[in-house]
Structure 1
Amino acid sequence: MQHVTFPTDDRRILAGDVYLPEGSDENGSYPAIAVAHPGGAVKEQAAGLYASRLAERGFIALAFDASYQGESGGEPRFMEDPYARVEDVRAAVDYLQSLDHVDAERIGALGMCAGGGYAVNATMTDHRIKALTTVSMFNTGSSFRRGWFGLDPDSAFVATLEQAAKQRTAEAQGAETFLAPYVPTEVDEIAIRDLRDAHEYYLTERAQHPNAQNKFVFARSASKIAGFDAFHLVEDLLTQPLLIVAGSEASTLWYSTELYSRARSNKKLLLVQGSAHMDLYDVPEYMNKAIAEIASFFTEHLVG
């Protein structure tokens, strides 16, 4: 694994880890995968784990920290900007294409959770990405507008935007920036399973990392997330082969089924039976099934 940095179009510097196949030849030509991490995560967690497993199967894989997060640049820190994150995926492709031992015509993208939505949006208009996989897909804009289960009325998010507007005004007048928690800091037995699992994954020894600090800039992030839709124009613009991997028990499954129903390209939906959202991040029983299918998919469409 090699630690690297590379720029975005608007000159933020992103930090990434490049995972290389064992015994790879610098004079060789390899297929490559850009791996986008979940919201609130960093490259050292699930994205890095998937990147390393893909490298074991002969791919060069780049896991990178999103703008404003982890070791990547951008101010204010901890902002969740969907538009910047889509551009981050394109910047990762830029970097992979710059490597002599990457075949520029054989680059794919893999996005996890919110990173899945961002990877979908980037792939729609970046045809350098030849194949796309999502894992535990999450559309941040839809969640903001429609709620965790997609059942909230469209008007429910207006109150949040009003709160964000008041907070931004206060901050512009000197108030301290409000940093909201990304996942619940406390959970009980009646909490949604995926949220209990998120707490365990990010806030315990299971996968806790000092660069994933479980916070985001509320006012500025909310105004950017509210109008974002990862699937806008997906019926018309997504033409690349698509593999959607989701847990059969995930409360976020509806994002994956919505994408599957709308996409018109060569597509496949893999339901990993018994898995919830976070199980696909690192639980071997479920993750191994996902990795095997993903490696086969990228081999078919990037190697041939």
Structure 2
Amino acid sequence: MKTDVIFPSAGLKLAGHLYTPDSSTPGSEAAGPRPAIVVGHPGSGVKEQAAGLYARRLAERGFVTLAFDAAHQGESEGTPRGLEDPAQRVEDIKAAVSFLTTRDEADPHRIGALGICASGGYALSAATDHRIRAVGTVSAVDIARQFRLGADGTQDPAVFEGMLDAAAAARTAEARGEGVQTFQLFPDTAEQARALAGRHGFEGFEYYRTDRARHPRSAEFLTWSSIDRMAFFDAFRFVGLIAPRPLLMIVGREAVTSWMSVEAFQNARGPKELHWIEGASHVDLYDKEQHVGPAVAKLADFFGAHLT
């Protein structure tokens, strides 16, 4: 069952979908609160897309799950719209954990976090909150590394320096009353995406800008002020602090972003597992059943074993 919920995060109201197992779920007759999982969405995504899919599928496996829109995005509060603020995003995950501790359906001592794409990096950082008993990621990236170094890690440093110049100019323009300055996330056409953004960029275009998964509240732009907020962020800096709590990182074997999950995994102290999904790209793990099915099964086993 899906229920619309609202909860606070640093003074802003976040919109979420709370998923609970229905009467047909195995073990649903068991009394008492259930293990619960916070599910964070990819960068530019909303709760109705990949995060909602994983939340629903894990609820079918017996967990209480919460997918939510980050502050400044989707149905959640926050201006300017389209702001990607790593500090706020980490706080949003901790606020979601706080919300779950107030729900009768959820066991406050058995809460995990699942981050997809950018939220994978944010979940690693949010795990400094010891109420998070287990951490899972799918196609995890550190959004700051992605902007600084590119999805494949080979971007010319001059590209990000140019973005920082643009961010500085945008702040000046906003101070002069010229309004919030933004930049477009995806090209206008599939042809442009193929030509300008490479395989990874085209897959993002296909997911977010076509009937495959398009949603009217999914972000099509970010504020330029997001860039210098990301510049000093490092999602992997304190991944070692997750131990001795368990970590599972699920990665597509064909994902150009896989190097980031590998880096985070190498810095983690354990118990930890890096699980590869053969044949899957980064975005394939958002919605393609031949890849999502095995990922959900692995996550259900992982959280089932550790949220005890």
TM-score (norm 1): 0.94
Tell me which residue corresponds to 1:48.
52
Separation of aligned partners in 2, 1:210 and 1:153: 33
Sort the Cα spacing of 1:239 and 1:187 in 2 relative to 1 into closer, same or farther, 3 A.
farther
Deviations 1:21-70 (A, max 9, x none): 01257962100000000010100000000000000000000000000001
> Greater shift after overlay, 89-98 or 231-240?
231-240
In 1, the alpha carbon distance for the partners of 2:241 and 2:134 equals 16
Q: In the alignment, is the contact (CA less than 8 A) between 2:249 and 2:273 conserved in 1? A: yes
Equivalent residue of 2:89, what SS? helix
For the aligned residues, what is the CA RMSD? 1.6
Paired residue secondary structure (1:192): helix
AA of the residue aligned to 2:72: Y
1:168-206, CA deviations, whole angstroms, 9 ceiling, x for partnerless residues?
101210223222122333343454222111101101111
Distance in 2 between residues matched to 1:237 and 1:243, nearest whole Å: 11
Shift of 1:71: 0.6
Number of equivalenced pairs = 300
Please tell me the residue identity of whatever aligns with 1:73: E
Moved more, 230-239 or 49-58: 230-239
Report the AA paired with residue 223 of structure 2: V
| 8 A contact 1:26–1:101 mirrored in 2 | no
2:147 is aligned with 1:141? no
Larger deviation: 227-236 or 94-103? 227-236
Please give the residue correspondences for 1:67-216 in structure 2 after superposition, counting only pairs within 5 Å: 67-123=71-127, 125-152=128-155, 156-188=159-191, 189-190=194-195, 191-216=197-222
* Contact in 2 for aligned 1:26/1:100 (Cα 8 Å): no
Structure 2 counterpart of 1:17: 17
Residue type at the aligned position of 1:263: A
**Which residue identity lines up with residue 2 of structure 1 in the other structure?**
T
Q: What residue in structure 1 maps to residue 3 of structure 2?
A: 2
- Equivalent residues of 1:25, 1:101 under 8 A apart: no
Match in the other structure for 1:64: 68
Percent identity reads: 47
Tell me the distance in 2 between the aligned counterparts of 1:27 and 1:166.
58
| SS at 2:77 equivalent | coil
* 8 Å CA contact 1:242, 1:268 repeated in 2: yes
Say which is worse superposed, 94-103 or 189-198, in terms of deviation: 189-198
Match of 2:306 in 1: 301
Of 254-263 and 151-160, the range deviating more from structure 2? 151-160
Give the structure 2 partner of residue 246 of structure 1.
251
Aligned equivalents of 2:29 and 2:158: distance in 1?
55
CA distance in 2, matches of 1:210, 1:126: 33
CA contact (8 A) 1:27 1:100 kept: no
Q: Which runs of 5 or more structure 2 residues have no equivalent in the other structure?
A: none
1:226-268 superposed Cα distances (whole Å, 9 cap, x missing partner): 1111011223454320110010001111111111111002111
1:260 to 236, 259, 265: 265
Q: Does 1:34 align with 2:69?
A: no
Q: Distance in 2 between matches of 1:44 and 1:102?
A: 21
- One-letter code aligned to 1:279: D
Query: Which amino acid in the other structure matches residue 244 of structure 1?
Result: M
